Amino acid sequence: MRQFSKLEQRLLNEFQQGMPLTPNPYADIAKQLGIYETTVLETLRRLQTEGVVSRVGAVFRPNRIGVSTLAAISVPQSKLEESAAIINAFDEVNHNYEREHQYNLWFVVVAADEDRLQEVLSEIEASCGYAVLDLPLLNEFFIDLGFDLKWT
């Protein structure tokens, strides 16, 4: 199992939430940690390259900036990775994941407006060859996605 440095542990645990909304957020993080901004950036890039972190950036409440939807497709297991790669190629796709369900590939699409959102869903459907189930947000619930990582 990979051992994380003290810096990696602090970056992964302390900055899951509250990303500074300033012109130089990584410099602000570096200042809080007492290190150089380049060290923060290099460490985060390495964690992304290694697959420890998939994305670094702000997360906004749904439909506050642009529009979004949860979508799903039912894909044969043999076509799952190929379909996920096609979906991931769209800039508007936030993330996707496999589920044990008839609809086994789920993803979030964020676009500037409803027209572009529907266009992306249609393009994904045409590119993958499977019908896309569009599940727009009806009721909003706040789920804290921060994880208190325990280091042994």
pLDDT of residue 113: 94
Residue 95: both structure tokens together: 């993330």
Blockwise average pLDDT, block size 10, the chain, 152 residues: 90 86 94 96 94 77 80 96 94 88 94 95 97 88 72 70
User: CA-based angle 152:16:27, to the nearest 5?
Assistant: 110
C-beta separation of 24 from 31 below 8 A:
no
**What is the per-residue pLDDT for 46?**
94
Instruction: Enumerate the domain spans of the chain.
Output: 6-49, 67-135
Say how many CA atoms lie within 13 Å of 48 toward its Cβ: 10
Q: What is the pTM of this model?
A: 0.64
Does 67-135 carry CATH code 3.30.70.3460? yes
CB-count exposure of residue 107 (10 Å: 0-12, 13-18, 19+) = buried
Measure the CA–CA gap between 135 and 149, rounded to whole angstroms: 31
Residue 144: predicted pLDDT: 66
Sheet holding 93-98, edge to edge: 93-98, 105-111, 67-73, 132-135
pLDDT digits (tens, 9 = 90+) for 55-95: 787 666 666 778 899 999 999 999 999 999 999 999 999 88
For the range 8-17, what are the long-range contacts, defined as Cβ-Cβ under 8 Å and sequence gap of 24 or more?
8/43, 8/47, 8/52, 9/149, 9/151, 11/40, 11/43, 11/44, 11/47, 12/47, 12/52, 12/53, 12/149, 13/148, 13/149, 13/151, 16/145, 16/146, 16/147, 17/144, 17/146
What the block records as the tokens of 59 is 């997360």
Q: Round to whole Å and give the CA distance between 2 and 139.
A: 39
pLDDT at site 118: 97
